Structure 1
């Protein structure tokens, strides 16, 4: 384990002329402190998907194609991946707060840009900045939850960090859908609310009792995040299931509203937001449901769920069946949730604390690269051959990847899990 000292906690000193009391082991913090530490993760992930049901409004107002819509979505992935190249390493070397506070500030700027967007360029920049904020949060924010929880509660920390991510991802589009239908300023009001939530997250981070690294370590500050050689197999097994799962949910987020409008005959922003919310509620619920299972059982179940999601998605577009699209969303959420929980649990249990934020970044790089590339490719393919054909191709590719990932995990479960 890396040498880490707690410099932000108060230290008692002995009165003059008296001997200092004997040192005692630090007690773990109250459980509520661990839950509170997960709030910044939730707040930033609310921002990450708030725009989902609003794209149809911007698309109508600004006039851009499905391909351009997925390209705007991909700006988020670009920002996220760029942050992952830096945030994990910086967080492990200089501390969590110097990464978290600027990330939350960028999230606030992104919220302002979304609320005032009058062009595709403004939307793209807002998505880029929100991606940077998310990339920093999945590196430093999730590691901060583990730091606050302490070594005795690492499994709880992995569960809370993972569920905070997917819960926020689901709340964002639901809030946007409801507020845009119920209140004036359909593309403004929800971002005002989100800015207030991010300000609360700043206050939470400011008071966190977070550790700081003992000293500098050698190596590049900007690099592809990695883990120690002994932990590479654990990272790869997590990515094998997490990547297809998050790719399937990314498709629902980027093209789900278009599917609802073009194939299933509804343009309701509440329905679009509720679909995303149901997807991520499933991702949250399934993690609590399987939290006591071994990782060797969680990861294969995640792969099976993603395969089922892709089969349901393909059938939904060919049969124009809303219930099948809802089922696809639920299964995709469950697939991402189990892949994410399994991967984070492996990392939290096996990777040294001094490399934990970088390991979180590495897991997310492995997941978000296909999650960014495949939906964009399908968006442009759908412009050429139709949304139904494009969705079918996407479903086949992701299902094949999930099957392969599940097979790899099954083959290594006795030796690596």
Structure 2
């Protein structure tokens, strides 16, 4: 891997790492701040609000002002978010603020970083670039929870030290990312006149049917799957766990993220054009396992469910990013990548959907319905793919 590619990948890893440092502590925050179930899920969901508020402009800004500036900004904000979360251990408002900022970080950094990798690696390596972007992001997601659990086990101040470590790591990587070659001709873009924000999805007219029929609906599952694994199932089953809930939540987050790394051998065996549908089918199996775990109170089932859901998410992400790289043109690559991630992160609201509808319709019923809808998306994927390519 070339130096520039390695450093951008490392930047994506650090961004992914920062978003998951606090994940194992959801139950700790709930108990420490005496939060309701919905308030606990809100800690997770405001992160999505930060993402969605940023993604549509992030791609356009990076197409205009360059990938490097946006990724550096996301890293700097990531350090700020961790600093605020240290204060959030005693303040629900600061906790939510820190999570929103980390959402903004993901909105700025992940789509832009993926687009930058695709440009650095060139048109002939779009699949490899998508693979690298997915694996390093999931690697960051997966590295944070076990380290947070380790701090909770062995170290003092578990709601402080992990965030300080992330701040130091982030500040160390910023100068390295600043040295990477910029792939956008910023001077040429500036000559086109002042930038005006606009809603621009970056979907080429020739690929609109394929994106709307096939890629878009399945992209939502990219984070709908893992969010259920590490933000819902462990919380639902926390009262049945004999071990520390931080350990269970942390290991669930780690299993989900590292399950995403299993997508590499899977994606090599599935044609890219149909892999997103296969990922949905794999994820449906994970939902079935998670639902059984909740109904029976068998919390050890959460871990295999998390691994399966993580692998499914990785398959859909790699296949989707590869297709996006093949469909887009250089002038709108950032915008289309951000649109793809916008749909993906919308799926992160799934835990809030379940916790909100559960009291009215029954949590089991809601889980079964969501599982059936996901299975339907998987079953109809081949048909929708054909309709999209007509």
**What is the TM-score when the length of structure 2 is the normalising length?**
0.91
Q: Give SS of 1:379's match.
A: helix
Q: Would you say the 8 A contact 1:101–1:205 is kept in 2? A: yes
**1:395, 1:279 → 2: CA distance?**
21
Match of 1:215 in 2: 189
Alignment of 1:92-107 (within 5 A): 92-107=63-78
Q: 1:154 pairs with 126, 130, 154, which one?
A: 126
> How far off is 1:271 after superposition?
2.8
Contact preservation (8 Å) 1:139, 1:361: yes
1:134-283 paired onto structure 2 within 5 Å:
134-213=106-185, 214-216=188-190, 220-223=196-199, 225-236=201-212, 237-283=214-260
Q: CA RMSD in A?
A: 2.3
Q: Which of 304, 308, 315 is matched with 1:327 structurally?
A: 304
* 1:376 corresponds to 2:352: yes
TM-superposed deviation, 1:385: 5.9
Give a deviation string over 1:130-182, Cα, whole Å, max 9, x none. 00000011221111111221223222111101112222112222221122221
More divergent stretch after superposition (278-287 vs 212-221) = 212-221
Per the TM alignment, residue 255 of structure 1 is displaced from its structure 2 partner at its CA by: 2.2
Q: Does 1:75 align with 2:46?
A: yes
Is the counterpart of residue 35 in structure 1 residue 24 in structure 2? no
Tell me the CA shift for residue 410 of structure 1.
4.2
CA displacement 1:371-391 (0-9 Å, x = unmatched):
22x321322344x369xx425
Q: Is the 8 A contact 1:245 1:332 kept in 2?
A: no
Shift of 1:292: 5.9
**TM-score with structure 1 length normalisation?**
0.85
Residue 391 to residue 187, structure 1, CA distance change in 2 (3 Å):
farther
- Structure 2 residue aligned with 1:46: 17
Deviations 1:38-77 (A, max 9, x none): 1111111111122111121121111111101111211100
Aligned-residue offset at 1:293:
3.6
The answer to which structure has the higher helix fraction is 2
How far residue 316 of structure 1 moved from its aligned partner, in angstroms, is: 0.8
Q: Decide whether aligned partners of structure 1 residues 69 and 211 sit closer, same or farther in structure 2, where only a CA change above 3 A counts.
A: same
SS of 1:38's equivalent in the other structure is: helix
Q: Runs of 5+ in structure 1 lacking a partner?
A: 1-29
- For 1:245 and 1:140, locate their aligned partners in 2 and report how far apart those are by CA, in whole Å: 17
Partner of 1:407: 380
1:234/1:263 CA distance change after superposition, 3 Å: farther
Q: 1:293 to 1:106 in 2, by over 3 A?
A: same
Aligned counterpart in structure 2 of residue 313 of structure 1, from 280, 290, 309 = 290
How many residues were matched structurally?
A: 384
Residues 289-328 of structure 1, C-alpha deviation per residue, up to 9 Å, x if partnerless?
4236421342222011111011111111111223422221
Cα separation, partners in 2 of 1:32 and 1:309, compared to 1, 3 Å? same
Q: Decide whether aligned partners of structure 1 residues 304 and 292 sit closer, same or farther in structure 2, where only a CA change above 3 A counts.
A: closer
Question: In 2, Cα distance between the equivalents of 1:233 and 1:162?
Answer: 25
Structure 2 CA distance for partners of 1:254 and 1:271, relative to 1, 3 Å: closer
| 3-state secondary structure, aligned to 1:272 | helix
Q: SS state of the match for residue 140, structure 1?
A: helix
Tell me the equivalent position of 1:298.
275
5+ unaligned residues in a row in structure 2: which ranges? Answer: none
